[in-house]
């Protein structure tokens, strides 16, 4: 009997304490259930990979489109410049020189400085596994004219000379060389071939460039690959196509090193 008040005193507050804890826990869980203060953070965490993907993809696609546009412009400008060059002569037939051709190439390289037209890239040979550095681009300039004697009923054309620039010497012409294009019906991609006007010639330019994505290779299906651009321009004025004796049609009074192609 003497211990009963003490037992009642000890047990009663303990039960009330647990009940109070239960009410507090229930209230906390209820408030937590209705709390939306972290919802934006969760949504950001879920959507962030998609935003990163869209950003990277947008950058890569924009870079690729801008690069192709610049390559196209360089090719057009090179063909246009090659069609305009020449020094006047008394007989009215302009002559072209190796120095003038090199000037055209120098202008193309300066125009392509932003895209490292004269730069290099690391390359691993898939056959040997050997890593090396090789050039980014190569520009091939061809003088295209009629085969002499010309038969209008069965027209044939040829490449009289070719000149190249750029350290990517692993690239070769896709449209023939001086040795192979000696009697062809035109020059250029299939179904888009071009020919010079009667008695004239045209300048055909082929630019090949090794493209690499700037962030992730293959992320947007843009992988390392070669881009080829072509352009042609008709020579505006009469030009001396034969050149000095023993030449392929180009003068070299300045005695500069000709920008010949490795296969010529």
Asked if the model's pLDDT at residue 9 lies above 50, the reply is: no
Grade residue 5 by pLDDT with cuts at 50, 70 and 90: low
Read off the pLDDT of residues 151-173 as tens digits, 9 standing for 90 and up: 999 999 999 999 999 999 999 99
| Least reliable range by pLDDT among 2-16, 42-56, 130-144, 202-216 | 2-16
Percentage of the chain lying above the pLDDT 70 cut: 86
Is 233 in a helix, a strand, or coil?
strand
Global confidence as pTM: 0.81
Grade residue 52 by pLDDT with cuts at 50, 70 and 90: confident
Tokens for 180, please give them: 């192979």
DSSP annotation string for 2-42: -SHHHHHHHHHHHHHHHHHHHHHHHHHHHHHHH--TTHHHH
CA nearest to 241, candidates 148, 179, 141, 106: 148
Read off the pLDDT of residues 91-135 as tens digits, 9 standing for 90 and up: 889 999 999 999 999 999 999 999 999 999 999 888 898 999 999
pLDDT of residue 47: 79
Q: How far apart are CA 141 and CA 1, in angstroms?
A: 118
Q: How far apart are CA 180 and CA 37, in angstroms?
A: 74
Grade residue 17 by pLDDT with cuts at 50, 70 and 90: low
| Least reliable range by pLDDT among 20-29, 42-51, 79-88, 208-217 | 20-29
Stretch 145-156: mean pLDDT, rounded?
93
For residue 5, CA distances in Å to 10, 13, 14, 18, 19 come to 9, 13, 15, 21, 21
User: Please, what is the average pLDDT of the chain?
Assistant: 88
């Amino acid at each position: 009997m003497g211990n009963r008040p003490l037992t009642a005193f000890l047990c009663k507050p303990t039960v009330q304490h647990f009940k109070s804890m239960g009410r507090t826990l229930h209230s906390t869980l209820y408030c937590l259930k209705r709390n939306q203060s972290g919802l934006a953070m969760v949504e950001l965490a879920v959507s962030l990979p998609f935003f990163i993907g869209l950003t990277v993809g947008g950058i890569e696609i924009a870079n690729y489109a801008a690069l192709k546009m610049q390559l196209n412009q360089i090719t057009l400008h090179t063909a246009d410049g090659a069609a305009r060059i020449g020094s006047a002569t008394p007989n009215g037939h302009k002559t072209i020189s190796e120095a003038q051709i090199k000037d055209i190439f120098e202008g193309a390289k300066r125009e392509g400085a932003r895209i490292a037209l004269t730069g290099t890239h690391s390359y691993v040979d898939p056959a040997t596994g050997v890593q090396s550095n090789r050039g980014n681009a190569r520009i091939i300039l061809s003088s295209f004219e009629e085969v002499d004697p010309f038969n209008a009923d069965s027209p044939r054309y040829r490449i009289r000379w070719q000149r190249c620039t750029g350290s990517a010497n692993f690239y070769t012409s896709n449209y023939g060389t001086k040795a192979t294009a000696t009697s062809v019906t035109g020059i250029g991609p299939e179904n888009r071939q071009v020919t010079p006007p009667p008695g004239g010639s045209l300048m055909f330019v082929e630019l090949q460039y090794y493209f690499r994505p700037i962030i992730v290779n293959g992320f947007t299906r843009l992988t390392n690959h070669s881009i080829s651009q072509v352009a042609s321009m008709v020579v505006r004025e009469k030009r001396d196509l034969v050149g000095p004796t023993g030449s392929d049609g180009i003068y070299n009074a300045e005695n500069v090193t000709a920008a010949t192609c490795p296969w010529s």
